[in-house]
């Protein structure tokens, strides 16, 4: 059985196959476009790759095409809260008389043949593996079958990895932390002077009582205060422990409690207590997670996580006796620590190294301000 495939269709199939299976790009759905393929990879040399097989016959149509891309990129920026989105635009049917001019935001390549794909002046100059990347085939039908199988295998492997991240897990540490907070509350009511030993007191911390930087995160005196914090811990802790795992959850929780206490000592400089700084750290970690998994979470980052962050920070400003500096300190710490511990399938060695570095710099700077300024 023979099957005829146009050279343009073959180029499209080979490019999609390469970007998905080798460069880890993922298809994204863009409404209102035809004969276009859009791919995304946060860690790629380009965040967005767009492959357009529509015929562009003059300069005006090329300008309109760029205008259309810019509008779609604006939607992606808005949805993902991104300031910059590097875009590679691949045109497969451009009139020979149309001149391509440099563009700061959209880099456009014209591809006519597979030689253009493998050329150093073409896509292989950006993706060197394209020079030697081949697909086994005996005929066109074999080519389609092999491409389909490879993409399906890659997709299946990715889906299994993501299912492992999102599947329900037994929650242990979040429950344990809630129980510890309740036990500490009981000890505060029952043991005279116990609160004085664990509350955050900047002067005593400077004097060497460093345990207060952590113990204060388990101290509450107001039933409404602990009820609110434990409810937030249950909601956020359940998600972070599920998505990142128990070890990473503990690192983020206690690390955020530590940075929250440090910033409180530096800015607020008064007695402070409560788990809200650590809870804000979980919120920061969840925001970092949501950003990197936004293709799977949809608009959750923009419509739920970010509004919750700003709402709670706003409440901290208008409601008296709330330590906003501790909330901010924990929130920033949570983001940095999530970067440091990594996000499962999304782990990138360089990102984790950067996360460790910025976390240490952040903590070191706060310790310096607390002890030496």
Convert the pLDDT of each residue in 5-27 to its tens digit: 777 888 888 888 888 888 888 88
According to the model, what pLDDT value does residue 255 have?
Answer: 97
Nearest-angstrom CA–CA distance, 23 and 150? 13
Whether the per-residue pLDDT at 273 is higher than 80: the answer is: yes
Whether the per-residue pLDDT at 143 is higher than 80: the answer is: no
Sign of CA pseudo-dihedral 282, 176, 210, 266: positive
- The region that residue 321 occupies, defined by phi over 0 for left and psi between -120 and 50 for alpha, beta otherwise, is left
pLDDT band at 216; cut points 50, 70, 90: very high
pLDDT band at 1; cut points 50, 70, 90: very low
pLDDT band at 3; cut points 50, 70, 90: low
pLDDT band at 296; cut points 50, 70, 90: low
For the chain, which residues make up each domain, given as ranges? 7-165, 168-372
**Which tens digit of pLDDT belongs to each residue from 94-103?**
888 888 887 7
CA 31 to mean position of chain CA atoms: 24
Whether the per-residue pLDDT at 148 is higher than 80: the answer is: no
According to the model, what pLDDT value does residue 345 have?
Answer: 65
What residues contact 136, with CB distance under 8 A and at least 6 apart?
142, 146
pTM of the shown model: 0.78
Nearest-angstrom CA–CA distance, 99 and 249? 53
Largest CA distance in the chain: 88
Which residue has better confidence, 170 or 161?
170
According to the model, what pLDDT value does residue 209 have?
Answer: 96
According to the model, what pLDDT value does residue 347 have?
Answer: 64
| 230-234, Cβ contacts within 8 angstroms, sequence gap of 24 or more | 230/178, 230/181, 230/182, 230/275, 232/276, 232/279, 233/174, 233/177, 233/178, 233/181, 233/275, 233/278, 233/279, 233/282, 234/174, 234/178
Tell the CATH topology of 168-372.
Answer: Rhomboid-like fold (1.20.1540)
Whether the per-residue pLDDT at 53 is higher than 50: the answer is: yes
pLDDT band at 75; cut points 50, 70, 90: confident
Whether the per-residue pLDDT at 300 is higher than 70: the answer is: no
Average of per-residue pLDDT across 234-261? 94
Which residue has better confidence, 321 or 240?
240
For the chain, the average pLDDT equals: 85
According to the model, what pLDDT value does residue 139 have?
Answer: 52
pLDDT band at 297; cut points 50, 70, 90: low
**Which tens digit of pLDDT belongs to each residue from 178-187?**
999 999 999 9
DSSP 67-110: HHHHHHHHHHHHHHT-S---EEEEESSB-TTPPP---SSEEEEE
Which residue has better confidence, 217 or 97?
217
Whether the per-residue pLDDT at 299 is higher than 80: the answer is: no
**Which tens digit of pLDDT belongs to each residue from 312-371?**
666 666 666 778 899 999 999 999 999 999 887 666 788 899 999 999 999 999 999 999
Catalytic residues: 276, 327
């Amino acid at each position: 059985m023979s099957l005829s495939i146009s050279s343009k269709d073959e180029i499209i199939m080979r490019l999609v196959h390469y970007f998905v299976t080798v460069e880890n790009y993922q298809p994204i759905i863009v409404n209102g476009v035809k004969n276009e393929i859009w791919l995304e990879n946060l860690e790629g040399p380009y965040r967005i790759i767009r492959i357009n097989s529509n015929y562009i016959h003059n300069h005006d149509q090329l300008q309109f095409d760029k205008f259309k891309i810019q509008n779609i990129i604006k939607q992606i920026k808005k949805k993902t809260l991104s300031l910059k989105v590097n875009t590679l635009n691949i045109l497969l049917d451009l009139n020979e008389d149309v001149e391509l001019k440099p563009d700061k935001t959209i880099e456009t390549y014209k591809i006519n043949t597979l030689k253009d794909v493998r050329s150093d002046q073409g896509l292989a100059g950006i993706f060197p593996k394209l020079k030697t990347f081949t697909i086994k085939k005996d005929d066109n039908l074999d080519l389609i079958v092999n491409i389909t199988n490879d993409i399906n295998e890659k997709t299946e492997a990715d889906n299994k990895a993501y299912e492992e991240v999102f599947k329900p897990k037994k929650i242990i540490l979040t429950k344990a932390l809630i129980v510890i907070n309740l036990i500490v509350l009981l000890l505060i009511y029952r043991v005279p002077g116990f609160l004085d030993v664990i509350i955050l007191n900047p002067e005593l911390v400077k004097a060497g009582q460093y345990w207060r930087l952590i113990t204060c995160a388990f101290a509450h005196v107001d039933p409404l205060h602990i009820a609110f914090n434990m409810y937030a811990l249950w909601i956020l802790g359940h998600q972070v422990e599920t998505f990142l795992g128990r070890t990473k959850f503990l690192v983020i929780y206690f690390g955020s409690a530590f940075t929250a206490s440090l910033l409180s000592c530096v800015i607020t400089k008064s007695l402070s207590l409560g788990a809200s700084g650590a809870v804000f750290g979980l919120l920061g970690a969840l925001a970092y997670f949501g950003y990197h998994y936004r293709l799977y979470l949809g608009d959750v980052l923009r419509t739920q996580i970010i509004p919750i962050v700003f709402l709670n920070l706003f409440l901290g400003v208008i409601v008296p006796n709330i330590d906003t500096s501790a909330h901010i300190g924990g929130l920033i710490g949570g983001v940095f620590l999530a970067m440091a511990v990594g996000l499962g399938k999304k782990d990138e060695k360089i990102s984790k190294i950067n996360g460790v570095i910025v976390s240490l710099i952040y903590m070191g700077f706060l310790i310096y301000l607390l002890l030496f300024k």
